[in-house]
Chains A and B, each alone.
Chain A
Amino acid sequence: MSHTTIRNVQQQDVIYELKAFIGGSTQDTKCNHVDLAKTALSLLKTLPAARDAVLEYFCVVFNSATQNFIVRLETEIATGQLPPASEEDETIISEIHTVISSFVSLNAESWAPIISTWSLELLGELSTRYAGRAHVSSGVNETLQLWMSCRATRTLIDITTQCLSSLIHSDTEACINALLDTSVKHSPNFDWVVAHVGSCFPTTVITRVLSCGLKDFCQNKSYEQGCDSPKIKSVVGILGHLAGSHCDDISTALLDLFTWSLQPPSLQEAEDVKPQKKATVPFLLQLAYLSPTLLVAMCKDIKSILTLDVVIKLNNFIDDWCKYFGSPEALQDFIVNLIIKCDVGGVQIINILLDCIFIGKCENEVVKERIKSTANEMLEYILQEIDLLIRTQIQQPNTSINILDSFIREAEDLHEILLSSERIKLKTACRIIIFIGCNNPSVLVKSSVFLFKNAKSEEHLAFLMHILTNELLDKTREPYVEKGGHFAVVLDQVFGKMFEKTSANDGIIIDTHRMWKNLLTLLQWEKSDQIPLLRSKLISRAIYANLTSLTRAFGSNKLEHDEYHTVAELLDLLDLPSPEGHQSYTIPIEAILNFTFATVNYFFVCCRETDVTTKFIGYTRTYNILKRLTLHSKAAKMRALRELLERALFTDDKLLFGAQAESIISYNGGEKLLLDQNRKNNKTIPLTKNSSVLNGGVIGSGKRKQFDSNGLSKETVAENMEQFIRAIKACCELPWGEENKTVDLSLDSLTSVSLLLVQFISPDVMYNGLPWPEEEFCKVTIERDFYIRRLFNNTPLLWELLSLVAVYRPTLCYCSVLLRAITATLLHQWNSTSDQSKTADIEKYNAIMDTTIKVIDIMSLGQLLPPPLSGIRDVIPYLKCSEIVQVLRDCIWNYMRDHVPSPALFTCDASGVYWRDPTLARPPDIYTTTLRIVMQQNIKTVGHLYSHMFINIPQVE
C-alpha cells in the first residue's frame, strides 16, 4: 500500500509539473516566468524525454532576454539613458545557466553534444535576428563586445565553451561540426561566436575546422563544386577570423595537415582516409585561393616546407590533382595565379622553383626530368604573367600585384640569388628586380647597389647593366632623372654608405675594392665603345654626377693601396677634366679640389708602393691627372702645389725624401716640448735676455743628437725626390698649344712654387723681401735664419726644389730671403770655426762646406751671382776659415746687398728665356778684389781657377 501512495504523490507531482510547463510555455498569459523556468529545469531532471521541448522553451526565454537587452540599448541611443536591466531575466538566465552547467560538468559525454548544438543554434538565430539593431556591425570585435555585454548571449557562449572544453579530449568532432553547420547557416552574423570559441580553443578549433572542411571537400568531385561549397566558405571565414590572433596556430595546423597527407596511408586507417589525403593539397590550394590570410599563413615559411624531398613526394599525387582541376594546365594556371597573389614568400617560392630546376639527387630519372621541366615552365610562366600584369598596370595604375610586394619585402633574399653563378638564377633575379623597379625604383637601386658592390664576375656586371637599361623602367622619373639616371643614384648610395661605414662602424667589412674594380670595368666597357647598351654614356654620366663624393672617397685615407690604384686608373680613364673642354659637363669646383687633393695623396701612396711597375704606372697617372687638373683650374694648381709641398716638407711623408724626423727624437722620459722646457726655466732662472733654450740642444741633455732616422736607401730617396720634382713640374705645365722648345714649364707656376717655398719655410712674414740688408742686420734675424737653415739641413728636398726654381729664371729671386738666411748662418758658422776643425771635427767642417757650396751653386744656377763670383764654390775648399768669411762677406753678401735679386735684373730674349748676360753683368771690382787677393795668397792651390776666373774672361763681342 505504501508503494501506491508514494507512487501517487510522485505521479501527481511530475504530471503537475509537465502540465504546468505545457500550459506556461504555450500560452502567452502572464504567468510567473521564474517559476516556469524552475518547472522546466525540474522537468529536465525528472523527465529527460521532455528535454527538446524544455530547450525550445529556453530558446524563447533567451530570445526575450536578448530582445530586452537590445531594446534597452536602443532606448539608450534614443534618449541617452540606459533603462535598468530586467531582474527577472537575470534570475531566470542565471538559474538556467547553473543547472545546465551542472549537467554538463557532471555528465559531459552525454549532455555536452546536446547542449552545445542547442546553444550554437540559438546563438546563430539570435545573432541573425538582432543583427544590425542597436549597433552597426562593422567588425567582429565590436560585435563580440556587444554580445558579450548581453547576459543572455554571454551565458550561451559560456555554456558552449564549457561543453567544448569538456569534450576537448573526446568528441570535439560533433561540436565543431555543429559550429560549422551553424556558421554556414548564419554567416556572417555568427562570426563573432566562431571567433570567440575559436580563440578559446585555437588549436582544436583550427585543426577540427580544417578536418571537417577536408571531409566536406572530399565529397566534391571537381573544382567547380569545390568552389561553391558553403562549408568551405565557412571554414575560410572562421580561419580568417582566427588568423588575426592565432596565425601561428593556423600555420602549424596547415603544415600538420600537409605533412599528414604526405605520409603513406597506414593499414589501421579507415578507408576514407586515402581520398582525404589525396584531396588535401587541392583543399589547401582552394583555401588559399579563397582567403588571402590563409595564403599568407601558407607562404610564410614555405621554404622549409617544400623541400626538394617533399617535391619529389608530391609528384606521386600530381595525376589525382590534375583530374580534380580538370587538366594539368588548369592546375598550373591555378597555382600560378595563387603565387602571383602571394603577399609573402614570393622569393621563397621562386627559390623553390629554382632549386627544382637544379634538382640533383633523385632516384627516378623520369621524375627528375619531369620536375625540372615543370619548374622551368612554371617559372617562365610566372615571370611572363608578372610582366604582363606590369604592362597593364602602367595603363591602369591602381591595380596592385601582390607578389611584387612580397619581392620587395624579401629583397634581401633576392640578393642571394643575384650573386649566384648559375645563369638562370641570375637571370630570374634580374627580371624580378626589373619588375620591382618599375614602380619602386628605390628597391631597384638598393638591389643594384648590392649587385654592384658584390658582383664577382663580368656576367654579374652585364646583368647589372641589363637591369639599369631595361625598357620597363621609367627613366624619366624623378628624382632619378635629376640625379643623372639610376646608376648615378646607385653610385650616390654606394659612396654615401662608404662614408657612413668609415665613420660609424668599421665592423662590417665591405669589399670596396671589388666595387671600385667593378666601376672600372664598367667604365672600360663604355670607353671601348663595343657595347650598344652603354652608348648613352651611362657610366660616365653617373660618375660625373657623383664626382664630388668619388673624389672625396679617393682622397680619404681609408682605402687600401690596391684600391687607390684602381680608382686612379678609373679617374685617369675618365679623362677629366678634358683638355679640349668640349664636354658639356662642367666639374664642380669642390670636385676639382677634392680631386686635386686626392691625386696628391695618391702620389704619396705611389711613393710608398713596393711593386715597381705599379708604382711607375701610378706616377704616370698622377702626372697626367695633375697636368689636366692644374691646366683646368688655377685653384687646382695652387691647391696641388701647396698640398704637395706641405706634405713633402712637413708631414711624415718628408721621410720619403730623406728628411730627419724630429718627432722620433726622444730623450729619456720621452720628448719634451721646447715650450715646457722654457717655462721650467722661467721658474728657476731669473729672466735674462738670452735664457731661451735653443734648438741646438737641451740643457742637461747635451747636444741635440742627429738621427739617421729612416731606413730608406739613398737610391730610393733620390728616386722619390726625382718623382716629386716631376710632380711639381706636372703642376707647372704650359697649356696645350703654348709649349715652345726652350721653355717647357710655365714661369708663373714656378713663381708660385717659389713663393710657396718662402711662405712655408720662412717662419714669419717679416723681412721676407727680396733685398739683402747690411750684414749687421743679421743680428736681428739670426733666430729665424737659424730656423730656416735647420729646415734646409733636415730636408734635402728643399735643395732640390731650390735647384728647380733656380733653373727657371728669374723665379729664384723670390727665394732671396732663404738664400740670405742660409748665407747669414754660414757666415756666422765660418766665423766661429777654427782652422783646426778641418782636421779635428771633419764631419762638421764638411757639412758647413757642403752647404756653402750648395748655396753658392744655386745662386749661380739662378744667375744671381755672375762670374767670377759664381766660381767661388770651387775656390773655398782650398781656403782657410777666416778667408772664407772674408770672401763670403765682401764678395757675395755685399754684391747681393747692392744688387737686389729681382726679376728686373733679367732680360727676356726672343725665345722667351729670361737670363742675365754674364758678359754684361760682370760685377765691379769692389766685389771681386777680396776674392782676387785671397786667391793670390793661395795661388799655389787655386792657380788653375784664378786664370779661369780673372784672366780668361769672355768679352762682349
Chain B
Amino acid sequence: MSQLSGPEIKHTLRKLEFPLCAKEALTKIGQLLISNRTPTLKHMDLALDLMAELVFCEVDRRGNKRPSPLTSIDELQLIDALYDYFNSTANETSRNSVFLSLFSGTTAMMRLGVLSKLVSIAVGVPSPPILISASTWMQQLGNTSPNSIQLAKALVRDYFILAPNTVPKLKILPKIAPQFVANFLTAVANIYFCDGKKDLFTFPPQCLLETITFWIKENPGLCIAAQQMQPSLPQGAIAMEATTPFAGLLKWCILASIYNQDFDLYGQLHLGLISSILEIPVLTTPRAISAQHLVVPAGSIHRYALETHSKLKRGEGGDRQKLFKEDQTLQLCLDRFAQAVQVALSVKCVYGNIEDLFTQLQQLPQNRLLHIVIGTHKQNK
C-alpha cells in the first residue's frame, strides 16, 4: 500500500463509504507521517488533503468547500473512528504527531467541535492515550491559548454544567491523566475571574470548584505534573513549557472575597494550593510560578480599593488607610495574597521579575502580613 502514489491512495479511499473511509484514511495518514523518520513535504501535503477531504469531510474531491457539514451522527462516527485509531496506536510519539497534525494550529479552530467532543468522550470513558495526546496538544499550542481555553470551556460545559451527575466519576481523573488535568486546570483558571471586555466577571460553577479543590488536595503534585513529564514529540519538534495553574488558581482565591464569593471552598482551595506549592521540589532554576502571573490580582485589588474609597468618600472623607484596615473582605484578600507570595518565595519557585512584583505589592492597601512579607524580602536582599 505504501507503494501507491497520492492520487491512487485518494482514489482507493474515495470508493469507501463515509465512516470506513475516515478509518482507512487515518491509518494512511499515520503511515505517511510516521513511517519515514522525517516525512517529506509531499507526504505532508497528501496527509493534510486526506484529513480535509476524507476524515473531516470539509472539502470535496476537487478541493471545494462542501456545502453541508457532517450531521451530528456522522460526526459521532468520525469521533468513534478517531477514538479507535488513537486507542489502537500504542506508540505515544506517533499518536501525538498524528493528533497534532489533525488539530494543528491552523486547523484547530475549525475542527474544535470534533476535538472537544473527542476529548470529552475520552474524559468520560476515560481513555488515557487520548488524554495524553490532548495534554500534549494543549501544551504545544499553549495551555492558556484561545484554542485550549475553548476546549476547556467545552469540557466544563459538558461535565460541570450539563451533566453534574458525572462529576464523581471525574475524581480519579488526576490519577489517570495528571498532565492533562494540569493543563486543563491552567486553561480553566483563565476562564474565570478574568477581566473581560465589558468588565464582567464570571465565576466557576460550584461543582467545578469542588472538583478542583478535591483534585488539588488529594494530589499535591498535580499542578506541576505537566512540567514534570515531558511529552513525547515527533522528531524535530520543540517542546513547549507548560504553565502551571498555580498563579491562575491563586488569583481565584485571592479575589474571591472582594467579589463576594467567599465560600469556604475558596479557603480550602487556597490551602490546597499552598500545600501543593510547599511540595514543589527546589530547583536551581525556578519554573513553577511566574512573578508576572502572580502579580495579576493586584490590578483588581487596586480597582476595588478605589471604588470603595470613592463610594465612602463623601460620608467620611477621612482616613483612607483606616477605611481599608476596617474592610474585612479586603484584608482577607490581602492576607491570602501575602500568604501565597510568601510561600512561593520560600520554596524558591518564582521566576521572572520579582522586584517588580514587590513594587506592585508595596502599592497595595496596608496589610500587616503583607507588610511583614515585604519587610522580610527587603531584609533577605
- Contact A25–B73 (Cβ < 8 Å): yes
Chain B residues positioned under 8 Å from A49 (CB to CB): 79, 116-117, 120-121, 124, 154, 158
- Contact flags A22-64 to B (C-beta < 8 A → 1, else 0): 1001100000000000000000011111111101110000000
Is B175 among interface residues, defined by CB-CB distance under 8 A? Answer: yes
Is B162 part of the binding interface, using a Cβ–Cβ cutoff of 8 Å?
A: yes
Mask, B107-126, CB within 8 Å of A = 1, is 00000000011001100111
List, in ascending order, chain B residues with CB within 8 A of A591's CB. none
Q: Which of the residues A11, A18, A52, A114 comes within 8 Å of B80, measured between beta carbons?
A: A18
List A residues 275-316 near B (Cβ within 8 Å): none
Task: Tell me the bound Cα distance from A480 to B73 in angstroms.
Answer: 78
A391 CB–B CB distance under 8 Å: no
A19 to B165 CA separation, bound complex (whole angstroms): 22
B166 CB to closest chain A CB (Å) equals: 6
| CA distance in complex: A14, B164 (Å) | 17
Partner of A48, one of B75, B79, B80, B120: B120
Does B41 have its Cβ within 8 Å of any Cβ on chain A? no
Whether B339 sits at the interface, judged by CB under 8 Å, is no
A-B contact count (CB 8 A): 77
A135 CB-CB contact with B under 8 Å: no
Contact B158 A53 (CB under 8 A): no
* Chain B residues closer than 8 Å to A57, beta-carbon distance: 73
CB-CB under 8 A from A45, the residues of chain B are 163, 165-166
Q: Which residues of B contact A940 (CB under 8 A)?
A: none
B282 at interface by CB-CB < 8 Å: no
- Is A259's CB within 8 Å of the partner chain B? no
Look across to chain B and name the residue whose beta carbon is closest to the beta carbon of A55. Answer: B72
A111 / chain B contacts, CB cutoff of 8 Å: 162
- Given contacts A45-B165, A46-B124, A51-B162, are A22 and B72 in contact (CB under 8 A)? no
Of A11, A53, A114, the contact of B73 (CB 8 Å cutoff): A53
A48 touches B73 (CB 8 A): no
A110 in contact with B76 given A47-B124, A50-B121 (CB within 8 Å): no
A contact residues around B312 at 8 Å (CB): none
List 23 A-B pairs, Cβ < 8 Å: A3-B172, A7-B172, A10-B125, A11-B126, A14-B125, A15-B83, A18-B76, A18-B121, A22-B80, A45-B163, A47-B121, A48-B158, A48-B159, A48-B166, A49-B154, A49-B158, A50-B76, A50-B117, A51-B162, A53-B72, A53-B76, A110-B161, A111-B162
What CA separation (Å) do A47 and B122 show in the bound complex? 9
Interface status of A107 (Cβ within 8 A of chain B): yes
CA gap between A137 and B78 in the complex, in Å? 42
Q: Complex: how many Å from CA A114 to CA B166? A: 19
Q: B93 on the interface (CB 8 Å rule)? A: no
Give complex CA distance A51, B157 in Å.
12
A22–B77 touching, CB < 8 Å: yes
A580–B293 Cα distance when bound, in Å, is 122
The answer, yes or no, to whether B211 is at the interface (CB within 8 Å) is no
Q: B residues within 8 Å of A by Cβ?
A: 19, 71-73, 75-77, 79-80, 83, 116-117, 120-121, 124-127, 154, 157-159, 161-166, 169, 172, 175-176
Q: Given A7-B176, A111-B162, A52–B124 Cβ distance below 8 Å?
A: no
Kindly identify which residue among B154, B159, B164, B169 contacts A10, using a CB–CB cutoff of 8 Å.
Answer: B169
In the complex, A18 Cα to B127 Cα: how many Å?
Answer: 14
* B245 → A minimal CB distance (Å): 23
Which residues of chain A come closer than 8 Å to B162, judged between CB atoms? Answer: 48, 51, 107, 110-111, 114
CA of A807 to CA of B51 in the docked complex: distance in angstroms? 140
User: A56–B73 contact, CB under 8 A?
Assistant: yes
Q: Which of B75, B77, B121, B172 is A52 in contact with, Cβ under 8 Å?
A: B75
Q: Are B159 and A26 in contact (CB under 8 A)?
A: no
Ranked nearest first, the 5 interchain pairs of A and B with the lowest CB-CB distance are A49-B120, A52-B72, A53-B76, A48-B158, A53-B72
Q: Which of B76, B79, B162 has the most CB of A within 10 A?
A: B76
Chain A residue numbers with a CB within 8 Å of B117 are 49-50
Give min CB distance, B184 to chain A, whole Å: 15
A215 to B341, CA, bound (A): 50
- In the assembled complex, the Cα of A53 lies from the Cα of B73 at a distance in Å of 5
Within the assembled complex, what's the spacing in Å between the Cα atoms of A56 and B69?
A: 14
Q: Which B-chain residue is minimally distant from A13 (CB atoms)?
A: B125
Chain A hits for B75, CB < 8 A: 52-53
Tell me, rounded to whole Å, the shortest Cβ–Cβ distance linking B335 to chain A: 34
* Complex interface: chain B residues within 8 A of A10 (CB): 125, 169
Asked if A56 and B71 make an inter-chain contact with CB atoms under 8 angstroms apart, the answer reads yes
Query: Cβ of B158 and Cβ of A107 under 8 Å apart?
Result: no
B77: min CB distance to chain A, Å: 6
Docked pose: A755 CA to B313 CA in angstroms: 118
CB pair B73 A7 closer than 8 Å? no
Closest chain A CB from B88 CB (angstroms): 13
On whether A26 and B73 interact (CB within 8 A), knowing A7-B126, A18-B121, A49-B124, the answer reads yes
In the complex, A201 Cα to B80 Cα: how many Å? 42
A55 to B175, CA, bound (A): 33
Query: A26 vs B70: C-alpha distance in the bound complex, in angstroms?
Result: 13
Contacts of B158 in A (CB 8 A): 48-49
Q: How many angstroms from the CA of A15 to the CA of B130 in the assembled complex?
A: 14
- A938, chain B: closest CB distance, angstroms: 134
- Complex-state Cα separation, A11 to B126, whole angstroms: 6
Q: Which A residues are CB-close (under 8 A) to B169?
A: 10
Q: Which of B72, B77, B79, B166 counts the most A-chain CB atoms under 10 A from its CB?
A: B72
Complex Cα distance A19/B73, Å? Answer: 12
- Residue contact B161 to A11, C-beta cutoff 8 Å: no
Q: A336 to B125, alpha carbons, bound, how many Å?
A: 68
* Beyond known contacts A14-B125, A47-B124, A49-B121: 20 more, CB 8 A cutoff: A7-B176, A10-B125, A18-B80, A18-B121, A22-B77, A26-B77, A46-B163, A47-B120, A48-B124, A48-B157, A48-B162, A48-B163, A49-B120, A50-B117, A50-B121, A52-B75, A52-B76, A56-B73, A107-B164, A110-B162
